[in-house]
Amino acid sequence: MDGERVVLIAGPTASGKSALAMRTAERRGGVVINADSMAVYQDLAILTGRPDAADLARVPHRLYGHRDAADPYSVGVWLGEVAAEIRRARALGAVPVVVGGTGLFFKALTQGLSDIPAVPGEVRDRVRAEASGIAPEALHARLAALDPLTAAGLRPTDPQRIVRALEVFAATGRPLAALQASRSAPLLGEGTWVGVVLTPARDGLRGAIDARFDRMMAEGALDEVERLVRRGLDPALPAMRALGVPPLAAHLGGALPLADAVARGKAETRAYAKRQDTFARHQLAGFTPASPERADATVDDLSAAG
- Where is the binding site for ATP, in residues? 11-18
Which residue ranges are tagged as binding site for substrate?
13-18
Radius of gyration of the chain (CA): 20
CA nearest to 262, candidates 243, 286, 289: 243
- Alpha helix segments (H runs only) across the chain: 17-28, 53-58, 75-91, 103-111, 121-131, 136-146, 148-152, 159-172, 176-180, 202-219, 221-230, 245-252, 258-283, 295-304
Which residue ranges are tagged as binding site?
11-18
Q: Facing residues of 228 across strands?
A: none
In whole angstroms, how far apart are CA 143 and each of 84, 116, 171, 176, 232?
37, 17, 14, 10, 31
Sequence-ordered list of residues with C-beta below 8 angstroms from that of 141, at least 6 positions apart, any chain? none
CB 198 within 8 A of CB 9: yes
CB 228 within 8 A of CB 43: yes
In whole angstroms, how far apart are CA 83 and each of 1, 118, 186, 188, 266?
9, 21, 11, 9, 34
- Report the SS3 class of residue 282: helix
CA nearest to 59, candidates 22, 93, 92: 22
CB 96 within 8 A of CB 192: no
